[in-house]
């Protein structure tokens, strides 16, 4: 088996696949208030297309797969895709990031299909703030979803929280308590600049500032705990807290991933408008060309992101960050 390694020596063994650009939320940092024009379903890759792509990618050293959106569970029968991926030689883990609202319907089916673990995005425990941040979501739906994944036996669940000054930074320790009471890890993510929030600096709070808030109540100790992503983990008495720092301390040197959009474009870096169209090769089931395009996407992978001088709105809303 080959191994994808970029020109900076980074081993690429992880892929995030957007299964849809659709979402049932309109989060203030991710999507315009009135939404965006959804891509016609006939333009999206089928589950069979995605499985074909992953068979080729697995031969090149891709081992771990994260399914994202939009909101991935708004696409019907996602469990069928998971079952297909679990049968691919070389794929060691399949995980899912979701807003949690549809988990009461799908949790058991996802478990039965072989999904390894779930990350739930949750920015607040306040119903009012939740409505403000998501514009059309209900906190109770997410909490029911969390109950559902616990009930069917999912382990190693994570909570992802985007922290915004004056909006939810007062809830940092409450969110830690919530996550750790369920034996979940929680990861705090710095707000990333997009064209949706022109004055994003007003709401930006660095991970250092977040740590300072946590230290007022908890003793924290850095650990060598690692997961698929760029999170740096600290140990509290009650559990683990991760920090994702795209701006204050870029983690590009350790990046191990590429992304595949729902329309069939490989995105080498979320912080650049670099895309490689692999759709025709996939549709034609051309393994040789698909392999060449995957390799090319890794060859052009930049050394670091350009989030402060390039708009990333389109990729953020359609490919799940």
Q: What HEC string does the chain produce?
A: CCCCECCCCCECCEEEEECCCCCCCCCCCCCCCCCCCCCCHHHCCCHHHHHHHHHHHHHCCCCEEEEECCCHHHCCCHHHHHHHHHCCCCCCEEEEEECCCCHHHHHHHHHHHCCCEEEEECCCCCHHHHHHHHCCCCHHHHHHHHHHHHHCCCCCCEEEEEECCCCCHHHHHHHHHHHHHCCCEEEEEECCCCCCCCCHHHCCCCHHHHHHHHHCCCCCEECCCCCCCCCEEEEECCEEEEEECCCCCCCHHHCCEEEECCCCEEECCCCCCCEEECHHHHHCCCHHHHHHHHHHHHHCCCCCCCCCCCCCHHHHHHHCC
**What per-residue confidence (pLDDT) applies to 38?**
85
Report the alpha-carbon distance of residue 127 to residue 139 in Å, rounded.
Answer: 6
Which CATH architecture is the domain 14-319 placed in? Alpha-Beta Barrel (3.20)
Residue 227: both structure tokens together: 């997961």
Alpha-carbon distance of 76 to 261, in angstroms, equals 17
Q: Which tens digit of pLDDT belongs to each residue from 60-83?
A: 999 999 999 999 999 999 999 999
Give the CA count within 13 Å in the CB-facing half-sphere of 101.
14
The tens place of each residue's pLDDT in the chain, 321 residues long, gives 799 999 999 999 999 999 999 999 999 888 877 777 888 999 999 999 999 999 999 999 999 999 999 999 999 999 999 999 999 999 999 999 999 999 999 999 999 999 999 999 999 999 999 999 999 999 999 999 999 999 999 999 999 999 999 999 999 999 999 999 999 999 999 887 776 777 878 989 999 999 999 999 999 999 988 776 678 899 999 999 999 876 555 567 778 999 999 999 999 887 767 899 999 999 999 999 999 999 999 999 988 765 555 555 454 566 665
Length of the chain (residues): 321
Q: Rounded CA gap, 229 and 95, in Å?
A: 12
pLDDT 10s digits, 268-293: 887 767 899 999 999 999 999 999 99
**So what's the pLDDT on residue 306?**
55
pTM above 0.95, yes or no: no
Q: What is the pLDDT of residue 315?
A: 46
- Looking up tokens 């350009």 gives 306
Cα→Cα distances 247→12, 77, 133, 205, 241, Å: 22, 36, 21, 10, 18
What does the alpha-carbon distance between residue 171 and residue 168 come to, in Å, rounded to a whole number? 6
Give pLDDT tens digits for 244-268.
Answer: 876 555 567 778 999 999 999 999 8
Q: Where are the domains of the chain?
A: 14-319
Sign of CA dihedral 14, 18, 24, 27: positive
Q: Determine contact, residues 231/222, Cβ cutoff 8 Å.
A: no
Full strand arrangement of the beta sheet holding 185-190 = 221-222, 232-236, 239-244, 185-190, 158-163, 117-121, 93-98, 64-68, 14-18, 257-260, 265-267, 275-277
């Amino acid at each position: 088996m080959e191994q994808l390694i970029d020109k900076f020596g980074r081993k690429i063994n992880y892929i995030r696949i957007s299964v849809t650009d659709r979402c049932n939320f309109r989060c203030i940092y991710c999507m315009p208030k009135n939404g965006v024009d959804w891509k016609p379903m006939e333009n999206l890759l089928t589950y069979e297309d995605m499985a074909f792509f992953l068979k080729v990618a697995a031969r090149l050293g891709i081992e771990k797969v994260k399914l994202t959106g939009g909101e991935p569970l708004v696409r019907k029968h996602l469990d069928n895709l998971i079952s297909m991926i679990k049968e691919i030689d070389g794929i060691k883990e399949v995980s899912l990031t979701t807003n949690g609202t549809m988990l009461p319907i799908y949790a058991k089916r996802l478990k039965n299909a072989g999904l390894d673990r779930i990350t739930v995005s949750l920015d607040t425990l306040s119903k009012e703030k939740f409505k403000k941040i998501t514009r059309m979501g209900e906190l109770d739906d997410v909490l029911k979803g969390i109950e559902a994944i616990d009930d069917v036996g999912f382990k190693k669940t994570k909570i992802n929280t985007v922290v915004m000054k004056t909006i939810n930074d007062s809830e940092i320790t409450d969110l830690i308590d919530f996550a750790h009471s369920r034996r979940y890890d929680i990861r705090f993510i710095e707000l990333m600049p997009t064209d949706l929030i022109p004055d994003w600096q007003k709401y930006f709070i660095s991970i250092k500032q977040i740590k300072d808030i946590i230290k007022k109540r908890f003793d924290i100790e850095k650990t060598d705990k690692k997961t698929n992503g760029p999170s740096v983990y600290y140990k509290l008495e009650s559990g683990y807290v991760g920090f994702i720092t795209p701006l204050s301390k870029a983690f590009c040197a350790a990046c191990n991933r590429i992304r595949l959009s729902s329309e069939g474009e490989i995105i080498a870096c979320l912080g650049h408008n670099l895309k490689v169209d692999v759709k025709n090769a996939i549709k034609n089931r051309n393994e040789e060309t698909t392999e060449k395009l995957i390799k090319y996407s890794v060859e052009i992978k930049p050394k670091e992101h350009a989030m402060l001088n390039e708009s990333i709105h389109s990729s953020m809303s359609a490919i799940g960050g």
